[in-house]
Amino acid sequence: MAVITAENLHHAIERKRDELYEVASRHSWTSPEVIHVSQELDTLITRHVLLKHPEELLTR
């Protein structure tokens, strides 16, 4: 299994954000395609935050 680092996640977030803008340029911001990519971006951002701040898991 590949090791996920904060830097890897940061790069994945940048790529996914670019993908989101590209998809949104072809569809409305509320289209299922854009929403799907946006949700993928949200997941990456959440993983990045939890990797950088694992104590957040303990406060929930």
Residue 44 in contact with residue 12, Cβ under 8 Å?
Answer: yes
Residue 4: per-residue pLDDT: 80
What is the full DSSP assignment across 5-51?
-HHHHHHHHHHHHHHHHHHHHHS-TTSHHHHHHHHHHHHHHHHHHHH
pTM of the model: 0.83
Mean pLDDT of 9-23: 97
pLDDT band of 55, cuts 50, 70, 90: confident
Residue 59: per-residue pLDDT: 61
pLDDT band of 52, cuts 50, 70, 90: confident
Residue 46: per-residue pLDDT: 92
Alpha carbon dihedral 21, 52, 47, 4, in 10-degree steps, equals: 100
